[in-house]
Amino acid sequence: MYIIKTISKSKKDSTQNYYTYRLMESIRVGKKVKKRTLLNLGSDFNVEQEDWATLSKRVDEIIKQAPSLFTLDKDLETIAQHYALKIISAQAVVDTTLNDEDRYKEIDTTTIKNSDIKDIGIENILYETIKELKLDAKLKELGFTNIQYNSAIGTLIAKIANPGSEAKAYDYLCNTSAINELIGCDYNKISSNSIYRISDKLLAHKDDLEKHLYTTQKAIFEYDETRTLYDLTNTYFEGGVEGVES
C-alpha cells in the first residue's frame, strides 16, 4: 500500500486547482501490474508526508491482522484504524449463493478480534422514537439543511444517551456511537462547530417544535387534554442554610 497526491481542477473555477490524496495498492493481473485505489482520503488529509509509508504499512497490517513490530503514535494509530475499517467495510461482501450448511461454521471464540467497537442499542431506540414522533420530518419541514439535520439528530441522541457538553456530544458521535450506521452520516466529516451551533438553531424553532411534539404525542397515545388547577395559597417552604441568619 502507498499514498499518492493528485491534482484536480475545481468544478466552480477551472483555473483553480486543489490536491486530493488516495491510498493505493499495486496488484498483478496476469502478466501486468495495475494500480488500484483502495480509499479516497480527500483533500483534507493532513498527515505529514514522512509518515505516509508508516501509515500505509499499519493499515495493511490491520487488514491482514498481522502484528506490528513498532508502536505508532496514538494519533497515527487512530487514523490507521479508521482507514482500515473503511476498507474492510467496503470490501465486505455477503455470498448469498451459499446454503445454510456452508454459511454457518463453528469458530473458536478465543480467536475473535474486535476493532472499533461502538454502541448501537440505545441509539437505535432513540432514533426510532424520533421517527415515531415525526421529528425528523419536522426538522426538514423547518428548512434544516442536511448538515443541520444530521447535527440536530446526532445532538439529541448524544444528549440523552450520554449527557454532557457539546464537545462531549461531538466526541461521543465520532468515537463511541454507531449512529452513523443508522442515519448514514459520518460525524468525523462534520465540523464540531456544526454541533456547537445546532442548539441555537433548535432554540430558534422552540415554539414550533414544542407544538409539534405535543400534538404528535397526543395523537399517538390518544389521550384527552386535561387542565389541572392547583391552589398555592397555603403552600410554603422552610429551610436553613449554614451561615445564613433566619
Q: Is residue 116 part of a domain?
A: no
Dihedral sign from CA coordinates of 64, 66, 72, 78: positive
DSSP state of 19: E
List pLDDT tens digits, range 98-135.
Answer: 676 666 777 776 766 666 677 788 899 999 999 999 99
Residue type, 129: T
User: Which domain-ending residue is among 45, 74, 89?
Assistant: 89
- What's the number of domains the chain is made of? 2
- pTM of this prediction exceeds 0.85: no
Question: Is residue 58 located within the same domain as residue 126?
Answer: no
Tell me the backbone φ, ψ of residue 69, rounded to 5 degrees. Answer: -80, -20
Q: Is residue 98 part of a domain?
A: no
**CA 232 – CA 139 distance, rounded (Å):** 39
List pLDDT tens digits, range 62-109.
Answer: 888 787 777 888 888 888 888 888 888 777 666 667 676 666 777 776
Provide the domain limits for residue 38. 2-89
**CA 55 – CA 52 distance, rounded (Å):** 5
- Cα angle, residue 205 at apex, residues 202 and 206 outer, rounded to 5°: 85
